[in-house]
Amino acid sequence: MTEVILHIYDVTNSGSDKTNNTIVQINKIFKDGIGLGGIFHSAVQVPSSPSISIYGDDEWSFGFCEEGTGVFSCPSRKNPMYTYREFIVLGTTNFSIFKVNQILRELSREWPGHSYDLLSKNCNHFCDEFCERLGVPKLPGWVNRFANAGDAAAEIAGNTAFRLRQAKTEIVSASKVAYRFLAGVTSNGAPDSTGNSSRGIPRFQSTWFRNLVSAGPKPPGSSELENGDEDFLQRKRQDAEVPQRQKPLRTSEEQFPPGH
């Protein structure tokens, strides 16, 4: 059984002493002070076994490069780009040197240097994967918490932006459909300049109205009203056919009585 050790560094490779000191202070406050996390680099070491020298004092990690694998090794606790902080024993493995070599060859193919991403595929993610294949627990959550939080925030922001774009597209499409509908009703249904509004009624509306009038029930008492109208018209026709009685003409004597 061989111990698997995680080495942790403060990320102080910015090229600015002021920035590097700020990062060290941030890590002290957020990790040492409240246990939340910080900005860290990590590497995994499988030390020398009492019987077999597996990797000696080398530690393994991952970083960016334009070509080839991003997996690299350096003497443990002596990475020149960062400031060493502490180490944690993650567990033990009973894998042989051949098995560990096989795992590292697989990781070297799967982790090219150009795929490095500060938030989603950094050195801490690599160490998580390496430890999982060695059969030991992954890194403590505080080691990569800032990167995970940043990656989650970026994903949420991306999803939100996509949904906003999708909603905007749907709104624009709905607006176009509504505009075409209203434009069609206006051109087909508006009264013309001569006042003949019936000409502009859409065909489906006039058909619906005719069906409603022809098939709809008659109002209560309509039969009585119709019968009454027929009697009235009949009486008018009879009056027109009968000669009007004339008053009798008066005689000349009646008009001019004697003595006048």
Going residue by residue through the chain, which has 260 residues, state the pLDDT in tens, using 9 for 90 and above: 889 999 999 999 988 999 999 999 988 998 888 888 889 999 999 876 544 444 557 999 999 999 999 999 999 999 999 999 999 999 999 998 889 889 999 999 999 999 999 888 999 999 999 999 999 999 999 999 887 664 344 344 445 555 556 656 655 665 566 666 666 655 655 444 444 444 444 444 445 445 544 544 444 454 444 455 556 556 656 665 555 544 454 544 444 455 54
Query: What dihedral do alpha carbons 145, 151, 157, 163 form, nearest 10°?
Result: -120
> What letter represents residue 225's amino acid?
L
Longest dimension (CA), the chain: 177
The predicted structure's pLDDT at residue 31:
87
Say if CB 44 and CB 6 are below 8 A apart.
Answer: yes
> Sign of the C-alpha dihedral, residues 192, 197, 199, 205?
positive
pLDDT number for residue 241: 56
How many C-beta atoms surround the C-beta of residue 217 within 10 A?
A: 6
- Separation CA 92–CA 46 (nearest Å): 9
Output the pLDDT for position 169. Answer: 66
The three-state DSSP-derived secondary structure of the chain is CEEEEEEEEECCCCCCHHHHHHHHHHHHHHHHHCCCCCCEEEEEECCCCCCCCCCCCEEEEECCCCCCECEEEEECCCCCCCEEEEEEEEEEECCCHHHHHHHHHHHHHHCEHHHCECCCECHHHHHHHHHHHHCCCCCCHHHCHHHHHHHHHHHHHHHHHHHHHHHHHHHHHHHHHHHHHHHHHHHHHCCCCCCCHHHHCCHHHHHHHHHHHHHCCCCCCHHHHHHHHHHHHHHHHHHHHCCCCCCCCCCHHHHCCCCC
Closest C-alpha to 41, from 4, 82, 71: 82
Q: What is the pLDDT of residue 195?
A: 46
Give residue 194's pLDDT: 46
User: pTM of the predicted model, to two decimals?
Assistant: 0.57
CA 213 from centroid of its chain's CA atoms: 50
226: amino acid identity, one letter:
E
**pLDDT score recorded for residue 165:** 64
Q: Give pLDDT, residue 126.
A: 97
